[in-house]
């Protein structure tokens, strides 16, 4: 019984550490996208995407962070995690298809890893089942 409690506590700490970093990463990149930062505009256009997509993705990132942080609503959290996964994996694939070097891929890869770890260690009250 004690081991289970320790394991749950450890998992909760891991979850909140990775959730904090994931939230900060998503919010900061969303702000850069919503403000149409010059470097981010160049990044998007070099991938062949229209600039208006930055606004859509930026808004959805902020809404996703809100969804994963608010209590209850496990279905909404699953959708938010799925959205994070698709956006970050899509960014990685887009950079790779455009022959960008690892420094361009790193931020998306890091956010994808944070998404997966946060999702995996989320507490039982934040899961569907």
Mean pLDDT of 69-93: 95
- Look up residue 122 and give its two tokens: 């989320």
Q: Does residue 86 carry a pLDDT above 80?
A: yes
Mean pLDDT of 29-35: 97
Mean pLDDT of 79-106: 95
Tell me what pLDDT residue 126 has: 82
Buried b (16+ CB within 10 A) or exposed e, 65-80: bebbeeeeeeeebbeb
Domain that residue 70 falls in:
2-126
Mean pLDDT of 54-79: 95
* pLDDT class of 79 with cuts at 50, 70, 90: very high
Mean pLDDT of 82-110: 95
Total structural domains in the chain?
1
The whole-chain average pLDDT of the chain stands at: 93
* pLDDT class of 2 with cuts at 50, 70, 90: low
53's enclosing H/E stretch is helix 52-69
Rounded Cα distance, 74 and 49, in Å: 32
Rounded Cα distance, 33 and 58, in Å: 6
- Three-state secondary-structure class, residue 99: coil
* pLDDT class of 115 with cuts at 50, 70, 90: very high
- In order of 6, 7, 8, 25, 26, the CA distances from 88 in angstroms are 32, 29, 28, 11, 10
């Amino acid at each position: 019984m004690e081991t289970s409690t320790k394991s749950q506590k450890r998992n909760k700490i891991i979850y909140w550490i990775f959730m904090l970093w994931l939230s900060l990463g998503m919010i900061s990149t969303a702000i850069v996208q919503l403000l149409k930062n010059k470097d981010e505009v160049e990044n998007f256009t070099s991938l062949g995407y229209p600039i208006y997509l930055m606004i859509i993705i930026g808004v959805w990132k902020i809404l996703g962070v809100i969804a994963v942080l608010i209590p209850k609503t496990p279905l909404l959290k699953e959708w938010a995690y799925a959205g994070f996964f698709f956006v970050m994996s899509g960014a990685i694939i887009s950079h790779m298809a455009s022959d960008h070097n690892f420094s361009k891929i790193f931020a998306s890869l890091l956010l994808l890893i944070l998404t997966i770890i946060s999702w995996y260690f989320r507490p039982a009250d934040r899961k569907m089942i």
